[in-house]
């Protein structure tokens, strides 16, 4: 089967224009699926260059709920780099004013305006993270990012409760020598209690058909384990290659769609969909690396969510050599420590990198620092953490495939 080609540049440009139109529509009314994009601005001083010999590029899907806009923006600053592409979404629990305020903040940051690589989903829809509406949201994000960003290599899913442990210079450096078809998906086929509780039982996720976030409820009856494919589960947080993302979104093979329908009535389908799909796809199975590059800690016995992280986890976090950690509370002091010691910056501003050669306070704006002089956006300069992450990724990506 032929795989769809990447968008030609002219088509990508047309989408950006359409995106800008959608902004106007959103400020007047509220069209479905509209994007709030950054304002038109003069062309950036340096254009990103792509391809062999250049650093890769990431697409970030950052999802949140009510009161998450400040956290999401802080996370966005911490993971920002002009080479990447960003899409932010607040679910139906957040009101239009919060969504609009977040879009306004995006328009207000000179770097984001200059490089026009940050978008906010203008549409509000319900999401329950324990149901399949969370999977629908992630696939929606993937589809939009494929459409608006013609050059990214990997899709990273994050929530507003996440935070990076390395700078983007470090991350782009560490992934520079990684084959661009690799997928970082934590997985196991050892289902244990989940076999009966998650896969034989059915649930209904009303967030798929109600306007408000609504908790799933159990359906009646059970179903046998499938024999057309084998179920794998794992972390809901993934790093997907562009190729595999296209496979999920375009569904030119029938398995991505069949699994989507199968998992519609499964609890925590984001913890099984990508795992089951990749491990049952002979074209992609060998591109799977078993790891999500995230640091988190489970309580004993484990709760519904991993523990909220604080300073007591800092050293373990650093030693984990991972790229992201979760969960954090808004303005937790440990985030400041991460900014200062790992991200080479201070909180509530962009993380410096070689792309920005002068991050300083703009005249008349004493609150945040902005990039006053563009640097080289086609080169990255890693620090110590970048080297460490590179070694870690090289080690875990020695073993590929599903087990
Ligand atoms: C959202 O934030 C506001 C102000 O910070 C606070 O008053 C409110 O209780 C928060 N709502 C929720 C649901 O956390
Ligand atoms: C994408 O995957 C297909 C197999 O499905 C493969 O033939 C192709 O080479 C891949 N392309 C890249 C860029 O990895
Ligand atoms: C689905 O996964 C199982 C287990 O890895 C494997 O035996 C089977 O061949 C896979 N199906 C396809 C179509 O690759
Ligand atoms: C995947 O790896 C296995 C084991 O190394 C090998 O037998 C198989 O041919 C590979 N499949 C593809 C599509 O490369
Ligand atoms: C940090 O988190 C751990 C585990 O949740 C908890 O036991 C500890 O009391 C917390 N420490 C502080 C300073 O909040
Ligand atoms: C982290 O690693 C350093 C150096 O390898 C070691 O000295 C330290 O004990 C480790 N800290 C924790 C909390 O594991
Ligand atoms: C950064 O910009 C500020 C304000 O224009 C200027 O005062 C400062 O000298 C610049 N720093 C560097 C290193 O260029
Ligand atoms: C940290 O920032 C300083 C000043 O902006 C810069 O000189 C240094 O190279 C940066 N270090 C890393 C590891 O990026």
Query: In angstroms, what is the span from residue 67 Cα to ligand 1's centroid?
Result: 6
Q: Which one of the ligands is nearest to 286 CA?
A: 4
CB of residue 234 inside a 6 A radius of ligand 8: no
Lay out the sheet containing 154-159: strands in order across. Answer: 35-37, 118-121, 85-90, 58-64, 154-159, 239-241, 183-184, 288-289
- The residue to mutate among 315, 322, 341, having the most atoms of ligand 6 within 8 angstroms of its beta carbon, is 315
Question: Would you say 218 and 176 are in contact if contact means Cβ atoms under 8 Å apart?
Answer: no
- State the Cα–Cα distance between residues 65 and 55, nearest whole angstrom: 32
- Which DSSP category does 233 fall into? B
Q: Which residues pair with 85 in a beta bridge?
A: 59
- List, for residues 5-64, the tens digit of each pLDDT value: 343 333 333 333 334 323 322 322 233 334 544 333 334 567 889 988 899 999 999 999
Report the sign of the C-alpha dihedral through residues 392, 393, 399, 401, in that order: positive
CB of residue 181 inside a 6 A radius of ligand 2: yes
Element at 302 (helix H, strand E): none
**How many other C-beta atoms lie within 10 A of the C-beta of residue 361?**
13
Element at 158 (helix H, strand E): strand 154-159
Closest residue to atom 12 of ligand 7, CA basis: 358
Could you identify the residue written with the tokens 């999500």? 292
**Structural domain spans, the chain:** 58-397
DSSP 3-state of 4: coil
- List, for residues 264-314, the tens digit of each pLDDT value: 999 999 999 999 999 999 999 999 999 999 999 999 888 889 999 999 999
Closest residue to atom 14 of ligand 4, CA basis: 286
Question: Would you say 39 and 105 are in contact if contact means Cβ atoms under 8 Å apart?
Answer: no
Q: Which one of the ligands is nearest to 228 CA?
A: 3
**How many other C-beta atoms lie within 10 A of the C-beta of residue 379?**
15
In 120-241, which residue ranges form alpha helices assigned H by DSSP? 133-148, 168-176, 194
Closest residue to atom 3 of ligand 7, CA basis: 360
- The residue to mutate among 229, 258, 286, having the most atoms of ligand 3 within 8 angstroms of its beta carbon, is 229
The residue among 402 and 300 whose pLDDT is bigger is 402
Query: In angstroms, what is the span from residue 21 Cα to ligand 2's centroid?
Result: 34
Q: How confident is the model at residue 370 (pLDDT cuts 50, 70, 90)?
A: confident
CB of residue 149 inside a 6 A radius of ligand 8: no
- State the Cα–Cα distance between residues 355 and 81, nearest whole angstrom: 8
Closest atom of ligand 6 to 315 CA is: 13
- State the Cα–Cα distance between residues 35 and 20, nearest whole angstrom: 8
Q: Tell me the CA distances in angstroms from 322 to 164, 312, 317, 337, one per residue in order.
A: 9, 17, 8, 17
- List, for residues 151-179, the tens digit of each pLDDT value: 999 999 999 999 999 999 999 999 999 99
Q: Which one of the ligands is nearest to 365 CA?
A: 7
Query: What's the mean per-residue pLDDT of the chain?
Result: 86
- State the Cα–Cα distance between residues 320 and 317, nearest whole angstrom: 5
What pLDDT was estimated at residue 346?
57
Tokens of 89: 């979404």
- State the Cα–Cα distance between residues 15 and 351, nearest whole angstrom: 29
pTM above 0.85, yes or no: yes
Maximum Cα–Cα distance across the chain? 66
Nearest to 263 by CA among 168, 132, 173: 132
- State the Cα–Cα distance between residues 51 and 96, nearest whole angstrom: 39
Closest residue to atom 1 of ligand 3, CA basis: 280
Least trusted range by pLDDT, from 29-33, 172-176, 223-227, 341-345: 29-33
CB of residue 360 inside a 6 A radius of ligand 7: yes
DSSP 3-state of 97: helix
Could you identify the residue written with the tokens 């697409």? 59
Closest atom of ligand 2 to 1 CA is: 5
The residue among 376 and 279 whose pLDDT is bigger is 279
Element at 341 (helix H, strand E): helix 333-341
Tokens of 356: 């920005």
Question: Strand 201-204 relative to strand 85-90: parallel, antiparallel, unpaired?
Answer: unpaired
Query: In angstroms, what is the span from residue 243 Cα to ligand 2's centroid?
Result: 6
- State the Cα–Cα distance between residues 30 and 347, nearest whole angstrom: 33
- State the Cα–Cα distance between residues 309 and 304, nearest whole angstrom: 15
């Amino acid at each position: 089967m032929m795989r769809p080609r990447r968008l030609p540049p002219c088509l990508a440009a047309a989408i950006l224009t359409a995106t800008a139109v959608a902004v106007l529509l959103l400020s007047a009314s509220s069209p479905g699926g509209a994007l709030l994009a950054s304002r038109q601005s003069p062309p950036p001083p340096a254009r990103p260059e792509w391809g062999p010999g250049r650093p890769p590029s990431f697409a970030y899907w950052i999802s949140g709920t009510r009161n998450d806009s400040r956290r999401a923006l802080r996370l966005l600053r911490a993971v920002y780099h002009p080479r990447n592409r960003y899409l932010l979404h607040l679910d139906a629990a957040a009101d239009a004013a919060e969504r609009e305020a977040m879009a306004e903040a995006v328009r207000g940051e000179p770097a984001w305006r200059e490089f026009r690589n940050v978008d906010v989903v203008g549409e509000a829809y319900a999401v329950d993270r324990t149901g399949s509406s969370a999977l629908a949201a992630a696939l929606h994000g993937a589809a939009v990012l494929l459409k608006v960003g013609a050059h990214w290599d990997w899709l990273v899913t994050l929530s507003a409760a996440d935070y990076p442990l390395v700078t983007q210079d470090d991350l782009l450096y560490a992934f520079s020598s990684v084959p661009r078809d690799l997928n970082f998906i934590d997985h196991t086929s050892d289902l244990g209690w989940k076999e009966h509780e998650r896969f034989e039982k059915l649930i209904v996720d009303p967030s798929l058909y109600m306007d408000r976030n609504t908790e799933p409820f159990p359906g009646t009856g059970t179903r046998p384990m499938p024999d057309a494919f084998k179920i794998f589960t794992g972390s809901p947080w993934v790093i997907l290659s562009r190729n595999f993302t296209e496979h999920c979104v375009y569904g030119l093979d029938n398995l991505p769609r069949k699994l989507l329908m199968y998992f519609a009535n499964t609890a925590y389908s984001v913890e099984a969909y990508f795992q089951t799909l990749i491990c049952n796809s002979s074209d992609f199975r060998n591109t799977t690396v078993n790891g999500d590059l995230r640091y988190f800690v489970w309580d004993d016995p484990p709760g519904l969510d991993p523990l909220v992280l604080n300073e007591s986890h800092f050293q373990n976090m650093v030693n984990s050599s991972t790229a992201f950690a979760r969960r954090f509370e808004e303005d937790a002091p440990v985030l400041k420590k991460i900014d200062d010691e790992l991200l080479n910056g201070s909180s509530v501003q962009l993380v410096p990198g070689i792309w920005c050669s002068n991050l300083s306070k703009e005249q008349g704006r004493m609150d945040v620092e902005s990039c006053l002089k563009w640097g080289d956006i086609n080169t990255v300069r890693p620090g110590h953490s970048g080297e460490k992450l590179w070694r870690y990724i090289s080690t875990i990506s020695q073993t590929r495939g599903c087990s």
